[in-house]
Structure 1
Amino acid sequence: MRLLRVELRRLWMRRVTWGGLLLALVVAGLGVAGQIGSAQPPTDRQVAEAEAFYAEELERWEENGEQQVEQCEEAEAEAAADDPGADFGCDDMAPRLEYFLPPTVSFVPDADDREAAAFGVPPDRGESQDPRVAEIEQSLWTGWSGVGAAAGYAPAFLMLAFVVGVSFMTAERSTGALGMWLTFEPRRSRVYGSKALAAALGTVPLVVAGWVAVAGGIYTLHAVFGTVGPVAAEDWVEIGAFSARLVVAGVLCAAVGTALGVLLRHAVAAVGAVAVVLWAGAVFGYPLGAAQRWTPTTNLTAWLEGGTAYGVAQELRDETGMVTTTWTTEVVTGLQGGLYLLAVAAVLTLLAVVVFRRRDVA
């Protein structure tokens, strides 16, 4: 405990740590500012224009609506011959005023936004469809919403925790402070453990401050404009669960940063290596097919959001030689995502301890 208290003080005496906290607040401020336009309700002028267009469209609908519905039903019947589940929405073709209003984002996605988000995933809608996919598609983190926008900034706070963890080890090695410290406390395992734990726990305020600032700021913004929307009790429970998972992810990211600081020895190398891995997982994830299950970005998303889904394309050749592409949707659970992150942190930490005990720190 004595070493841990010393390392925590040293961590927060560093300008990099305070700079990370300041940068987290700046990122949160930019996130809140970016939501100002979308959180505002329509102005009186926009409402008046929408009502005028709606009145014109309603007049045309009263003249030709029945004919349009009949045509739609005929087309739906023809499509049903090949696809019994075909639904063209013929019963819901009448114009509505909200169709002519500019979209307004609520703090949590409403039912329409969550349903629209499902169109972004091209799953196989057959009987083999995993029921968990529907739960993920309808979750709080899908659709267009203020809380979803806030969650989009969470990886930035995790990256800052990682950078602080890297710098905490590499800076002391490059300045010789680490070698000096080992003359007072020669038990290297204890030194590494105290530094890794200090980085993991010491960066929690950074992650929490950034998340609270962006989520609280966006909520306040919606409250001011009156666009919070109906936030149910289960929504607050899920936001709280996301916050807790984010803190755990921040602890693991800082521990990974400390480990890579030892293994790669240079901050630029450690940060660059992680940036390349994350970039490759995001850019080349689709060609990996089912192997997307094991990319860091997929598992991080699954952990933070309590589960995530990804599409896999399969090319099938029929009897005539024609090639068709079918889609299936696979699920990565939040449990797998958490175990994945824990395993990565544990393996890198174990390697770092072995290297730290044997390598010359000079």
Structure 2
Amino acid sequence: MSLFRTELRRLAKRRFARWMTAAGLLVLVLIVAGMFLSNQKIGPEQWAEAERTAEQQYRDAVSSSEQERALCEQAKTSGAEFWTTDCASITPPPRDAFEAEWYLPSTFDFRESFGDLLIPLAGILAMVGFVVGASFVGAEWNTGGMMNLLLWRPKRLTVLLTKLGALLTGLLALALPASVAWFGSLWLVATWRGSTEKVTSGVWQSFLLTGLRGIVLAMVAATVGFALASLGRHTAMALGGAIAVMVVGQVGLGILLDVAGVRFAEAWLLPTYAYAWMAKTVTLQDWRSCSATYTGECNPATLDITWQQSSVLFTVGVAVILGAAMWAMRRRDIT
């Protein structure tokens, strides 16, 4: 019997993996439902209503300014104090200050909004991959299943890497159809409750590349969770490590860097690189130091974090953590 197929079957039959996958997919469904219910397609009726609202807002502003001017005149006559003595300066705003498009209902523009919605998709897939990856190997160590498996297939690294391969294959089998469904469902939301205009082939290519980077991010998270749990021989090792890194490391480090006045403190935080990986570039600003322009403006110093820098960080991190797990598997006793 193939070890790889056995591990795939074992992964598919794990109840925790099924429930975690179902929970992640449910969150994605709720996001799509929320987008559908909170947006409307803009048509003549919506424009007409927005025009009426803009006109009403303008009339309210005129009435309010007239009342304010009357109060000013009253105060000037009685000698009471008022915030201004020039009552003639209290005038209503111009009609063109109330544009109808400001009062249009929310609408889902696929070209403008879909790129940002690929980030929560990647985040949910990464979370599912990390937790399932950690439990997949952590439970084997905790229940003694790893020792029994090594009696049947005594090559330690082969067993470990085959388990990892099965995990990544299973995650890929989840991520690809989930991504396709995400693209399709939000396209339907834009069709029925928004706009699909100006979506060119170049826009599709950009979205597809971003979606691909999201799947890679999920596989990196799964590999890290798997390696940490294998290194500690328990699922809690990975989950505890993740909590320590995010809460103690990231939040605590962020506060410490801010107190110390370190420039571009976000450059030392892991979420910045995850976001840069998805968005291609993140521009950090330091308002504590700025370069004055000839117009007198104070432009903050900037630092760009690119997806290439994120890829180097992720590659080194995965290599170190997975390498440590392989070294521990090879060197430590199996008891």
Same fold (TM over 0.5): yes
- Cα shift at 1:315: 5.2
User: Residues 107 and 254 from structure 1, CA distance in 2 versus in 1: closer, same or farther, beyond 3 angstroms?
Assistant: same
Aligned match of 1:107 = 110
Taking only aligned residues, the RMSD between alpha carbons, in angstroms, comes to: 3.1
- Say if 1:299 and 1:226 are closer, same or farther in 2 by CA, change over 3 A: closer
- Structure 1 window deviating more from structure 2 (197-206 vs 158-167): it is 197-206
What is the aligned partner in structure 1 of residue 302 from structure 2? 329
Partner of 2:19: 19
Counterpart-to-counterpart distance in 2, 1:255 and 1:57: 56
Change (3 A) 1:281 1:105: farther
C-alpha distance in 2, partners of 1:220/1:155?
Answer: 22
Alpha carbons 1:40, 1:225 under 8 Å: kept: yes
Range with greater deviation from structure 2 (38-47 or 343-352): 38-47
Mapped pair 1:300 → 2:300: no
**TM-aligned CA distance change 1:212 to 1:20, over 3 Å:** farther
**2:141 paired with 1:173:** yes
How far did 1:244 drift?
1.4
Distance in 1 of aligned mates of 2:20 and 2:224: 17
User: Is the partner of 2:264 in helix, strand or coil?
Assistant: helix
Match of 2:154 among 186, 193, 218: 186
Specify the alignment match of 1:116 in structure 2.
none
3-state DSSP of counterpart to 1:203: helix
Report which stretch shifted further, 272-281 or 50-59.
50-59
Which of 96-105 and 163-172 deviates more?
96-105
Q: How does 1:310-325 map to 2 (within 5 A)?
A: 310-314=284-288
Aligned residue pairs: how many? 290
Residue 360 in 1 paired to residue 333 in 2?
yes
CA contact (8 A) 1:40 1:227 kept: no
- Is residue 283–residue 304 contact of structure 2 (8 Å, CA) maintained in 1? yes
Other-structure match for 1:6: 6
Higher mean C-alpha displacement, 273-282 vs 339-348: 273-282
Shift, 1:228, TM fit: 2.6
Task: Name the TM-score, length of structure 2 as normaliser.
Answer: 0.76
Q: Distance in 1 between matches of 2:43 and 2:23?
A: 34
For residues 218 and 39 of structure 1, what CA distance do their matches in structure 2 show? Answer: 12
Change (3 A) 1:189 1:34: same
Equivalent position of 2:185 in the other structure: 217
Query: 1 CA distance for matches of 2:44 and 2:250?
Result: 46
The alpha-carbon deviation at position 276 of structure 1 amounts to 3.6
Amino acid in the other structure paired with 1:307: T
Bigger radius of gyration among the two: 2
Contact 1:166 / 1:258 at 8 angstroms: preserved in 2?
yes
- The equivalent residue for 2:119 is 151
Q: Secondary structure at the match of 1:231?
A: coil
With normalisation by structure 1, the TM-score equals 0.71
Q: CA deviation at 1:214?
A: 3.1
Q: For the residues of structure 2 that align with 1:248 and 1:36, how far apart are their CA atoms?
A: 28
The offset of 1:291, in angstroms, is 4.5
Structure 1 gaps, min length 5 = 62-92, 110-144, 317-324
CA displacement at 1:260 relative to structure 2: 0.3
- The structure 1 residue matched to 2:212, chosen from 230, 244, 257, is 244
Q: Is residue 229 of structure 2 the alignment partner of residue 261 of structure 1?
A: yes
Structure 2 letter corresponding to 1:355: A
Match of 2:316 in 1: 343
- How far is 1:259 from its partner? 0.6
- Contact residue 309 and residue 332 of structure 1 kept, 8 A: yes
**Which whole-Å CA distance do the structure 2 matches of 1:289 and 1:272 have between them?**
30
Q: Residue 28 of structure 1 contacts residue 211 of structure 1 at CA under 8 Å; is this kept in 2?
A: no
Structure with a larger share of its residues in helix: 2
- Higher mean Cα deviation, 93-102 or 236-245? 93-102
Note if contact 1:302-1:337 (Cα within 8 Å) is conserved in structure 2: yes
Per the alignment, residue 198 of structure 1 pairs with 166
Q: In the alignment, is the contact (CA less than 8 A) between 2:47 and 2:100 conserved in 1?
A: no
SS in 1 for 2:195: coil
Q: How far does residue 353 in structure 1 lie from its aligned partner after superposition?
A: 0.7
Check the 8 A contact 1:164/1:203 in 2, yes or no: no
Following superposition, the deviation at residue 95 of structure 1 comes to 4.4
Cα offset, 1:296, TM superposition = 1.9
Whichever residue aligns with residue 182 of structure 1, its letter is: L
Contact 2:137/2:229, CA 8 A, preserved across alignment: yes
1:307–1:333 contact (8 Å) kept in structure 2: yes
Aligned mates of 2:241, 2:312 — CA distance in 1: 22
